[in-house]
Amino acid sequence: MSIMQLPPENPHEASFLLSVAEARALPRFPHKEVVFFGASNVGKSSLINAFCRRKNLAKTSKTPGRTQLLNFFWLPQKVILVDAPGYGFANIPDSVRQNWQDLLLDYLDDRQGKLQAYLLMDSRRWIRDHDMEIMKLLQIHNIPYVLVFTKLDKLSKIDQQDLQNRLQQQVASACPALVTSAKTKEGLEGLQKSILAWGSL
Ligand code: GDP
């Protein structure tokens, strides 16, 4: 495994570090890591960009050729952010899917104790089967995780309250959950606190 020179030139700004396609190319960092998972269109890039205050940062992960890679970013919180592109595998060849799964499993194996995951889901859609699958995978690998509900602004005030109640009743005892909107910036402070807390553990 390679060891990267860190912090980057400007440590006060979030920046793209590298994309990794296979386990043997995984870098090691002397920092904690957070990995963001989410089905495509859930609002992952928007949330990362809003959180990092960089307009097109996470667009990097959507560049053709990078959509099945782990994309590593430096955060000024001195934490490495990993964008794990969407789990909508309907239209990709089996070999690509297998390669991606192998990479993910090796990554999770390697990062125990160093990694916390953020599972993004659309506030309008609650937790879906593919989210449950990732949760199971994380539990098996002993990776702590936080649920992040996106696009909160798309819900009416009443539905926002319903979501909060449901989280309190069904999720709060199992894992932390955050509600966010990249559009209104609601919840970004909570995300910041969560990442800082993990980074300083
Ligand atoms: P990704 O595929 O998960 O990276 O999703 P994107 O960040 O590209 O967002 C998908 C779509 O949802 C885009 O049209 C965004 O403008 C929109 N979107 C993302 N976040 C929000 C949000 O917080 N509020 C609203 N209203 N729209 C959002």
Q: Is the CB of 41 under 6 A from ligand 1?
A: yes
Annotate 101-127 with b (16+ C-beta within 10 A) or e (fewer).
eebbeebbeebeebbbbbbbbbbeeeb
The rounded Å distance from CA 64 to ligand 1 centre is 18
> Is residue 178 predicted with pLDDT exceeding 90?
yes
> What local confidence, expressed as pLDDT, does residue 99 receive?
82
What does the pLDDT look like over 12-59, one tens digit per residue? Answer: 999 999 999 888 999 999 999 999 999 888 999 999 999 998 888 887
Cβ neighbors of 176 (< 8 A, separation 6 or more) are: 146, 147, 194
pLDDT in the model for residue 90:
58
Sheet holding 79-84, edge to edge: 15-20, 70-75, 79-84, 33-38, 115-122, 145-150, 177-179
For residue 57, the model assigns a pLDDT of 87
Task: Work out which ligand 1 atom sits closest to the CA atom of 62.
Answer: 4
Q: What is the pLDDT of residues 129-173, one digit of tens each?
A: 889 989 999 999 999 999 999 999 999 999 999 999 999 999 999
46 Cβ inside 6 Å of ligand 1: yes
Give the pLDDT score at 59: 77
CB of 153 sitting under 6 A from ligand 1: yes
